[in-house]
Amino acid sequence: MAPKCAVRGSIPEIIRNDENLYEGNLVHYFRVVFNHAQNLQNPYHNFRHMLHVTWACFQACIYYGNEGRLSPRQMRNLLIAALFHDFDHSGMVGNDDLNIQRSLRGFEKYILDEDRPFDSDIRKMIWATMYPYEEKSEGLDLCSQIIRDADLGQALSVAWIQQVVFGLAAEWGKKPIEVLRSQGQFHSSLRFATEWGREMFPQEDVDAKIAEARELQELLEELS
C-alpha cells in the first residue's frame, strides 16, 4: 500500500501562500470568512470545518502540483471553493441545496475582480459538496473530486468525537449516542475518489475509526 501523504503548512502559511504554490494569496477571502460568515460557531458546519477542508485541499494541491496535474490557477480556485463551501450554513439538517445557495451568495458578494473569470469553476466545486450527492464522484473533474474527499476527511480527524458525533447530533436534533451508532455504517461506506484521498485517508485509518466507534458504543451501552 502507498504511504501516507506528507503534510505541511499551517493555516497562516496556507493563507499567505508562503510556499508560492498557487496564484496570489487568500488573505481577502480568509478575512471575509472570519469577519462575515454567520456559521462560525455552528456545532459542525463551523469555522473549524471550513478551515479543515481548506487545509486538506492544500495538501492535495501539493500532491497534484508535484505531478503537474493542477496549475497554480486551478489550485487557487480549489482553495477559494474550500473556504466558501459552507459559508453561512444553516446548521440544520436537510435542504443542503439551500445551504449551497447561501455559500454561493457569500462568494458572489465578496469575489475579487481577478477571480471573476473563474466564477463558474469555483461555483461548480462548491456545488460538488452538496449532500446527498446528486452525481457520482467518478464523473466529476479532479478539483471537484478533491473537495469532496477533503470534506469527507473530517470523519477521520482527531477531533472526530467532538466535531462529528456531538456536532452533528446538535445540528440534527439527535442524541450523540444515535450519531455514534450510525458511524460504523457511514465509515464502512466511505469511498475516496482521488489517489490523494486514498493515500491521505487510507483504509487502515477507516477501519480503526470503525473499531473505535464500536468500542465507544459498547462502553456507553454497558453503563446504561
For 202, half-sphere exposure in the C-beta direction (CA atoms, 13 angstrom radius) is 7
pLDDT at 27: 98
Residue 159 pLDDT: 87
Does 2 map to a domain? no
Which domain does 96 fall in, by range? Answer: 11-223
Asked if 44 contacts 167 with a C-beta cutoff of 8 angstroms, the reply is: yes
Mean pLDDT in the chain?
Answer: 94
Q: Is residue 189 part of a domain?
A: yes
> How much is the pLDDT for 3?
43
Query: At residue 222, does pLDDT exceed 90?
Result: no
Question: Confidence class of residue 224 from pLDDT cuts 50, 70 and 90?
Answer: low
Task: Tell me if 1 is assigned to some domain.
Answer: no
Residue 6: pLDDT band with limits 50, 70, 90: confident
**Sign of the torsion angle spanned by Cα atoms 202, 205, 211, 212:** negative
Total structural domains within the chain: 1
Task: Read off the pLDDT of residues 27-38 as tens digits, 9 standing for 90 and up.
Answer: 999 999 999 999
pLDDT at 184: 93
* Residue 6 included in any domain: no
What pLDDT score was predicted for residue 91?
Answer: 95
How far apart are alpha carbons 53 and 26 in whole angstroms? 14
**Listed residue (111, 145, 153) closest to 128, CA to CA:** 145
139-172 confidence digits (pLDDT tens): 999 999 999 999 999 999 888 999 999 999 999 9
Averaged over 8-27, what is the pLDDT? Answer: 97
Judge contact between 85 and 124, C-beta under 8 A: no
69 contact partners, CB below 8 Å, separation of at least 6 = 142
- 4 within some domain: no
Q: How confident is the model at residue 2 (pLDDT cuts 50, 70, 90)?
A: very low
Q: What pLDDT does 66 receive?
A: 86
pLDDT tens for 173-207 read: 999 999 999 999 999 999 999 999 999 999 999 99
CATH number, domain of 62, equals 1.10.1300.10
pTM of the model: 0.95
- pLDDT computed for residue 223 by the predictor: 63
pLDDT single digits (tens) 207-218: 999 999 999 999
Query: CB 196: neighbour CB atoms within 10 A?
Result: 25
> What's the whole-number mean pLDDT along residues 74-83?
98
Q: Is residue 184 part of a domain?
A: yes
Q: What is the pLDDT of residues 80-130, one digit of tens each?
A: 999 999 999 999 988 899 999 999 999 999 999 999 999 999 999 999 999
State the Cα–Cα distance between residues 40 and 70, nearest whole angstrom: 30
CA proximity to 87, closest of 146, 30, 161: 30
